[in-house]
Amino acid sequence: MSQNALRLVWIYPDLLSTYGDQGNVLVVERRARQRGIEVARVDVRSDEPIPTSGDIYLIGGGEDRPQRLAAERLRRDGGLNRAASNGAIIFSVCAGYQILGHEFVNDLGKREPGLGLLDVVSVRGEGSRCVGDVLADIDPRLGLPPLTGFENHQGITRLGATARPFAQVRFGNGNGTEDGTEGAYQETVFGTYMHGPVMARNPHIADLLLRLALDVSTLPPVDDRWYEALREERIAAATETAS
């Protein structure tokens, strides 16, 4: 593996990888390789230190207890915060998204500090869990097609002044707030409630991360037929259920 390989870090596969979130790392890796980009993938278990020299970090969702354990270990480790201050690209899903914020409510009902990499705060929703398919429009500044995904969470996430909503829901809950926002981002740190896995349903997000990592504005096209078929099928099914 050359020194110039793109360093892709998948955080805590042993704690945070519900609903196929592992698919995200596979899609980013594959879409890089299809462009002839060499990739060095590192899967970091929760008893290992987080490398600080990664280019792209991915973190998935999880049940409430593993989420607390992951937050404790990530805080103690400090590597992800150092990577972020070096300008790393970080993409997080659900429990991972909540952990990147200032705080969330843990499995013991207590406020648990997050990493403070996103200006968001999560609480436990009072109502029923947010479960089901979601369709949302991604912030036009990011120039991506609509977001399709599956959500399953009790948490509600509110954005502070420095975080931008990642998307605006057409249907589904997303952040679970009245303003209809879904996910958040600031600079190169992203969070979403979408599983699916979200990259398989939205390969353009994987491409966005690659473009940011390589500092290029376009990438050579790749065959998107299977992704498009999946998107069409999921969007049609979800639209039918919603109407």
Contact residues for ligand GLN, defined by CB under 6 A: 18, 61-64, 67, 94-95, 152-155
Q: Least distance to ligand GLN from the beta carbon of 85, Å? A: 26
Nearer to ligand GLN, 51 or 113 (CB): 113
Q: Least distance to ligand GLN from the beta carbon of 169, Å? A: 16
Nearer to ligand GLN, 155 or 191 (CB): 155
Nearer to ligand GLN, 32 or 169 (CB): 169
Nearer to ligand GLN, 5 or 69 (CB): 69
Q: Least distance to ligand GLN from the beta carbon of 30, Å? A: 24
**30: alpha, beta or left, given left = phi > 0 and alpha = psi -120 to 50?**
alpha
The two tokens of residue 209 are 């991360």
Residue number, nearest CB to ligand GLN: 61
Nearer to ligand GLN, 130 or 205 (CB): 130
Q: Least distance to ligand GLN from the beta carbon of 32, Å? A: 25
Q: Least distance to ligand GLN from the beta carbon of 73, Å? A: 16
- The beta strands (E) that lie in the chain are given as 6-11, 39-44, 56-59, 89-93, 103-105, 111-113, 120-124, 130-138, 147-153, 155-159, 164-171, 181-186, 189-192
Q: Which residues contact 187 (CB under 8 A, 6 or more apart)?
A: none
Q: Least distance to ligand GLN from the beta carbon of 192, Å? A: 11
Round the CA-based radius of gyration of the chain to a whole number and report it.
17
Nearer to ligand GLN, 24 or 67 (CB): 67
Buried b (16+ CB within 10 A) or exposed e, 205-225: bbbbbbebbeeeeebeeeeee
Nearer to ligand GLN, 94 or 100 (CB): 94
SS3 39: strand
Calculate helix-pair angle for 22-34, 203-214, nearest 10 degrees. 60
Q: Least distance to ligand GLN from the beta carbon of 106, Å? A: 9
Q: Which residues contact 3 (CB under 8 A, 6 or more apart)?
A: none
- Say how many Å lie between the first and final Cα of the chain, rounded: 50
